Structure 1
Amino acid sequence: MSARRYTVVVIALLLYVPVIQAVSSGKWLSLSPSWQWDGIDGMWSTFEVEIGDPGQKVRLLPGTSAYTGNVVSVVTPPGCSRYPAAANCTGSRGNVFSSNASSTWSTRGLPDGGESELDDPVESALGSTGSVSYGFDTLRFPCPDVPLVANLLVAEYATEDFWLGSLGLSPVTSNYSGAHVSAPSLLSVLRHRGGIGGLSWAYTAGAYYRQVFGSLTLGGYDASRLDAMKSITVPFASDPSRDLVLGVQSMTYDTPGSTPLGGGFYAFIDSMVSQMWLPASVCERFEQAFNLTWNSTCELYLVTDEAHANLIELNPTVTFTVGGADALADGQTIDIDIPYAAFDLNISAPLVEKSSRYFPLKRANSSSDYTLGRVFLQAAYLFADYDRSEFRVSQALYPESYDRKTLVAVDSPHKAHLGKAEIAGCVVLLVVFAGSCAVFGTTILLRKKRSRVQRQLASSLAEKDAIVDEKADAIHSLSLCSAASTPSVAELSGIETQIHEAQTQDRDRPELSETKRASIRHELPVEVVAVELDGHSCSI
């Protein structure tokens, strides 16, 4: 191989290595919604994935809570057989998952066969509990370019407190005390394998009243779903279990003669719950403003037909003025406007005996329970960036076409972390690169050495040529003298050895002929065949 070709190879490798190092950058994963509305305490936009082998399709809610970060939660068949009063139970729960039907389900390493209790202090404090069975299984996204994710921690349950399963989004690795297992999160696995460029996600719940489905992006966000003029970035809270905390400066509504609904508290954003859990004093102001009735048996704010008709006519918009930790001290804030239609929900069995209208508001027992659930995320767009320990809240937008996305990748600011396959590839490339450099250097040295030897040889030949010329001239002179003094001899003597030299003035010296005239090459004749490539062929 010539030095020129080695140079091309080395340059190609130098250009290729940065591509390998940046393999995880500039990547996002946008999940399409299931195009269905599920649930029994409102109509919620879900996202479909496949669990197990063969794959079982389930529709899940994005789980923004830190304690759902490293687990995919699914509903088991008993989750419907226990509730015969639930209409279309399987459909409303986003389908059920049977671990017995999956060949890749495993409880290896889990004590008690993975049987445990839900150990989520945030949701448990809000009354959501139940038994759960943990195991490991595969997950597939409905995206052709995304490979399956194996050995993810999956929690299966039948409780009515979590009617829909969830897809954990937080990369925080949590230890489940019941199962004594620590597993990587879905987001971390995708980042490690190069599926996304950073540890971030963005989500808005969608709005049934506008017939706009939810949006979920991993490794970035969809700029078409947020109002950049009404957006604020907030650092994560110090408590990792309640990282997405907003300061609620005030709440107001826009009907004539309205009074403030309250404010001056911090609330955790959590998609795992449907309602808003607010201070009792704030709930009382909502009761008065919207003519709500608290049902102590159901522990819900039920809405009568008369109150509903009045609210439809007034169509109030509730404005949440929110910000970061300094929001309560007149710091930077934005307004999130939520129309009454977002609060106009229905709830059905088994949570209540018969389907009823209700207002998604709950009375919190303590300040640590203040929560803004999915009802808030109908009108808010949430982007969480775990690489930078901050999140952004914006007013959600509702594009006319779901296909009109403006996806923005948000890469990790740290050095890209390469997976095993990428590391192996880099090692191979470096070895090839080092070998190519060695061969290239050796080739250059050999070329220089060969040139030096050729110069020395040429010089030596020139000297020998000069000596031969001198000897030839001397012999020629002697031959001329002999011819003049003695008769010529026609035959060689059989006794004495005679040396006969050709005359040098008129003939070339045979031993120098190759250096005196151009070389003549003789090659075998080759038949030239013209070949045409097919129009669809690729010439390499």
Structure 2
Amino acid sequence: MLAQLLFLLAGYILAINARYTYGSALDARADSTTTIAAPISVTPDQNWDGIDGTWSTFTLRVGTPEQYVRTYVSFASYQTWVIIPQGCSTAADESACAENRGWLFESNASSTWERVGIYDLWIEDKLDYEGNALYGYDRVGLGGQGEGGPSLRNTTVGGLAVEDFYLGVFGINPKPTNFSDFNEPSTSYMTQLKQQSLIPSVSFGYTAGAHYRYTGELASLTLGGYDSSKYVANDVVFTFAPDNERDIMVAMQQITTPSQISSSPTGTQLLPNAVYAYIDSTIPELWLPLEACQAFEVEFGLTWDNVTKLYLVNSTLHSSLVQRNANVTFTFGQGFTSTDTVSITLPYAAFDLTAQPPFRGLQNSSRYFPLKRAANDSQYVLGRTLLQEAYITVDYEVSRFKLAQVLWDQNAQMNLVAIPAANVTQNSTAWTSPLFGDSVSSPKSGSGSSGGGIGAGAIAGIVVGVIVILAILAALLFWRHRRNKKQKRISMDEKTLNNDTNSDAHSDAATGTVFPKAELAGSEPILFGMTHHDADRKGLLMPPNSRMGTPGSPGSPSSHYGTDASSPHPSSAGEGTYMSSGSNTLLSPLSNITEADSKSIAIYEMPGDMPSVKEKDGRQLSEKEAIQRREMLYNGVDSSAGVTPTSDNGEEPPREPPRRVQAEHVVDARTGLAAGRHRAFSFEGAEGAKDAFGTGGSGL
């Protein structure tokens, strides 16, 4: 054994020598052949969807066999959300509802679906978007039928039935999902793409598209890079904000619109004070401070509707705004006083949206201006309205992003540019990012002589390494010798002990030990038509005003930058029930799917909990008999059949030896007597036997 270890040590030393001798040449060769994956351009639908406007969507293939759903792109979400059949079960026309909601996903029809439980949606909680989803793991592919986009297994999928999110979303945030404090996080779709070398980095480029441009300009989504033909280039780079949930933040310095007064050409200021705002494609509106909203009201004649909480636009106002054709310019910087700024200009057409029922409780279709009154700075959000005219590129690996005006050029050819991972090097030199214009340092070979010989530092390192390895080897050999000696002594002691106490050894089966069985509480969803009272009998409903937990708790799936699991681990936590809101709107699904207790509760039946059932003679039943008695009373199953009774001390009574028939005991039917030994019956004499059997010997 020692010789083998020494041989391995010699080989290791030679390997170190070769590494230092030829390291420079090997490094240069590796760098010269470094390649990165190409970015993925996700093809948008030809559809324009939404009850809160007209938006370009993307088709996903979910489940096995594949089911097709249309979704929005979400920067905030790290999951894939789809609409489930419960979202259209109360609609007057279920098929029309399914079409309007981007088609439905039936988890029961997917052979690869793994259910996790029901959790709060969490994102957009600060904007009063409420609801939760039935979560699980399933296969998700990019693009519609025949488009050939990648398909990944074990991705996190949430099934929605609420109306706040009327279509599903495709989350491109790379953060993992954590369903409880006790499970490993579930890897996001973006991270899986990178881990499988399908994209070079967790980055993307996106613009929401504009239905009012040309004949309708569709959205553009690039994963692992960006499309340089889609925007007007600038040199402004933004860094992520420290808030993990609101990372893509910009300082909104100004909002202006051209003046209508010819004598005063200075634009009108619509933002009294600079604020920080979060860019989020999940929602359509622009959430601004109340003072800014009031400035919009004065400038454009908008009226706030207290019932729907919308700026509804009637036909007269709409005609006036179309004729004016004003535009609004947003100016962004890294900070309030930054001189490097980016301006995004939106025409009035970008604000000319149409809402349909049941959006915000509307009963009829109505034009509206996508502006919302924010209650505080946590609600300052810029949604898809801005991204109709803005192209955003985000690199999560370096926590930076860029914002630019969309370039409207119908003749422009797609030009996809990959964003390499932060640790990618090329040609042993510092690599310059084509997006951010800075350098990513790369490791280089040591600065030894050009001849490639081993320097003094390398030799010293080898000597120290050899000494350390020999010391470790000696310690291991000493430890192994002591362990073998100790194990040998313990084995001898155990052998002696077993010989002395062999008669005392008993198995669990022999002693009749009963181990308790854990019975998990059932937690199936409340079906339509089932009342709260019916569900409450199962003890699954929460108080009406109760809320779920915070991120990281079992109550809601959270995200964090922790250790990513290579594959998701489904949990039994989160099993709950649907709770109907009782809404009577036309397309009213279960608006409040509520998790009951965040996790299943195991009910353990301990032996001490068995009933003390006594027989009529007062003898207390044994533990085994008590279990059988309980089975008969509660389950109607008599498990005592064929069971040997036990004595009072719980042991089986001794069995009588089997009776065997001896030859001398056989009775002669003709005489009625045994073979000369004794009589078989208590009759006196042969005559009694004869009377008993009859005459002539034919009684049998």
Do these two structures clear the TM 0.5 threshold for a shared fold by scoring above it? Answer: yes
Q: CA deviation at 1:141?
A: 2.1
* Structure with higher helix content: 1
SS at match of 1:397: coil
* CA deviation vs aligned residue, 1:36-77 (integer Å, no higher than 9, x gap): 101100011011110000000111111101xx12x1000111
User: For the residues of structure 1 that align with 2:95 and 2:295, how far apart are their CA atoms?
Assistant: 34
**Maintained 8 Å contact 2:41/2:221:** yes
User: For the residues of structure 2 that align with 1:337 and 1:306, how far apart are their CA atoms?
Assistant: 25
**Maintained 8 Å contact 2:208/2:220:** yes
Aligned: 1:314 with 2:324: yes
**Maintained 8 Å contact 1:204/1:377:** yes
* CA deviation vs aligned residue, 1:57-105 (integer Å, no higher than 9, x gap): 111111101xx12x10001112122343899322221111110111110
* CA deviation vs aligned residue, 1:305-358 (integer Å, no higher than 9, x gap): 11111110110010001111x2x1143111100000000000011121000000
1:460-499 alignment to 2 at 5 Å?
Answer: none
Aligned: 1:39 with 2:57: no
Indicate the residue corresponding to 2:87 in structure 1: 79
Indicate the residue corresponding to 2:254 in structure 1: 250
Indicate the residue corresponding to 2:125 in structure 1: 124
Please point out which of 54, 65, 68 is paired with 1:54.
65
Q: CA deviation at 1:274?
A: 0.6
1:300-311 alignment to 2 at 5 Å?
Answer: 300-311=310-321
User: For the residues of structure 1 that align with 2:369 and 2:255, how far apart are their CA atoms?
Assistant: 16
* CA deviation vs aligned residue, 1:16-50 (integer Å, no higher than 9, x gap): x9499845x14100001011101100011011110
Counterparts in 2 of 1:39 and 1:178: CA distance versus 1, 3 Å: farther
User: For the residues of structure 1 that align with 2:224 and 2:353, how far apart are their CA atoms?
Assistant: 32
Aligned: 1:189 with 2:197: no
Aligned: 1:95 with 2:103: yes
Counterparts in 2 of 1:359 and 1:179: CA distance versus 1, 3 Å: farther
Please point out which of 199, 202, 208 is paired with 2:211.
208
**Maintained 8 Å contact 1:200/1:219:** yes
SS at match of 1:329: coil
SS at match of 2:363: coil
Please point out which of 39, 47, 61 is paired with 1:28.
39
Q: CA deviation at 1:386?
A: 0.9
Indicate the residue corresponding to 2:516 in structure 1: none
Amino acid at match of 1:280: L
User: For the residues of structure 2 that align with 1:298 and 1:131, how far apart are their CA atoms?
Assistant: 22
User: For the residues of structure 1 that align with 2:85 and 2:240, how far apart are their CA atoms?
Assistant: 38
TM-score, scaled relative to structure 1:
0.68
Counterparts in 2 of 1:176 and 1:339: CA distance versus 1, 3 Å: farther
User: For the residues of structure 2 that align with 1:372 and 1:176, how far apart are their CA atoms?
Assistant: 28
User: For the residues of structure 1 that align with 2:150 and 2:378, how far apart are their CA atoms?
Assistant: 39
* CA deviation vs aligned residue, 1:153-200 (integer Å, no higher than 9, x gap): 100011110111111111122424599672111111111111011110
Counterparts in 2 of 1:160 and 1:181: CA distance versus 1, 3 Å: farther
Indicate the residue corresponding to 2:304 in structure 1: 294
* CA deviation vs aligned residue, 1:454-486 (integer Å, no higher than 9, x gap): xxxxxxxxxxxxxxxxxxxxxxxxxxxxxxxxx
**Maintained 8 Å contact 1:134/1:179:** no
1:136-535 alignment to 2 at 5 Å?
Answer: 136-142=137-143, 146-176=149-179, 182-210=185-213, 211-229=216-234, 232-257=236-261, 259-262=268-271, 263-324=273-334, 326=335, 328-351=336-359, 352-400=362-410, 404-415=413-424
Counterparts in 2 of 1:85 and 1:365: CA distance versus 1, 3 Å: farther
User: For the residues of structure 2 that align with 1:76 and 1:179, how far apart are their CA atoms?
Assistant: 28
**Maintained 8 Å contact 2:118/2:135:** yes
User: For the residues of structure 2 that align with 1:356 and 1:130, how far apart are their CA atoms?
Assistant: 25
Counterparts in 2 of 1:178 and 1:115: CA distance versus 1, 3 Å: farther
**Maintained 8 Å contact 2:259/2:268:** no
Q: CA deviation at 1:367?
A: 0.5
**Identity of counterpart residues, as a percentage?**
39
Q: CA deviation at 1:148?
A: 1.9
Amino acid at match of 1:196: I
User: For the residues of structure 2 that align with 1:19 and 1:83, how far apart are their CA atoms?
Assistant: 60
**Maintained 8 Å contact 1:41/1:347:** yes
SS at match of 2:229: helix
**Maintained 8 Å contact 2:204/2:225:** yes
Q: CA deviation at 1:378?
A: 0.4
Q: Which structure has the bigger radius of gyration?
A: 1
**Maintained 8 Å contact 1:117/1:178:** no
User: For the residues of structure 2 that align with 1:285 and 1:180, how far apart are their CA atoms?
Assistant: 49
Amino acid at match of 1:128: Y
TM-score, scaled relative to structure 2:
0.53
* CA deviation vs aligned residue, 1:382-429 (integer Å, no higher than 9, x gap): 111011110110011233158x2011011012148xxxxxxxxxxxxx
Counterparts in 2 of 1:375 and 1:181: CA distance versus 1, 3 Å: farther
SS at match of 1:311: helix
Q: CA deviation at 1:374?
A: 0.4
Q: CA deviation at 1:304?
A: 1.5
User: For the residues of structure 2 that align with 1:245 and 1:86, how far apart are their CA atoms?
Assistant: 40
User: For the residues of structure 1 that align with 2:252 and 2:147, how far apart are their CA atoms?
Assistant: 42
* CA deviation vs aligned residue, 1:417-453 (integer Å, no higher than 9, x gap): xxxxxxxxxxxxxxxxxxxxxxxxxxxxxxxxxxxxx
Q: CA deviation at 1:131?
A: 2.5
**Maintained 8 Å contact 1:323/1:332:** yes
User: For the residues of structure 1 that align with 2:240 and 2:74, how far apart are their CA atoms?
Assistant: 17
Counterparts in 2 of 1:51 and 1:19: CA distance versus 1, 3 Å: farther
SS at match of 1:84: coil
Amino acid at match of 1:42: G
Indicate the residue corresponding to 2:517 in structure 1: none
SS at match of 2:270: coil
Amino acid at match of 2:189: L
Amino acid at match of 2:220: S
Counterparts in 2 of 1:381 and 1:321: CA distance versus 1, 3 Å: same
**Maintained 8 Å contact 1:57/1:95:** yes
Counterparts in 2 of 1:181 and 1:88: CA distance versus 1, 3 Å: farther
**Maintained 8 Å contact 2:310/2:371:** yes
User: For the residues of structure 1 that align with 2:182 and 2:217, how far apart are their CA atoms?
Assistant: 39
Which shows bigger deviation, 277-286 or 136-145? 136-145
Amino acid at match of 2:372: K
**Maintained 8 Å contact 1:119/1:176:** no
- CA RMSD after TM alignment: 2.5
SS at match of 1:337: strand
**Maintained 8 Å contact 2:179/2:185:** yes
User: For the residues of structure 2 that align with 1:198 and 1:158, how far apart are their CA atoms?
Assistant: 33
Counterparts in 2 of 1:377 and 1:147: CA distance versus 1, 3 Å: closer
User: For the residues of structure 1 that align with 2:296 and 2:342, how far apart are their CA atoms?
Assistant: 21
SS at match of 1:341: helix
User: For the residues of structure 2 that align with 1:319 and 1:144, how far apart are their CA atoms?
Assistant: 37
Amino acid at match of 2:44: P
* CA deviation vs aligned residue, 1:198-248 (integer Å, no higher than 9, x gap): 11011100001111000000000001111104x621000001110000100
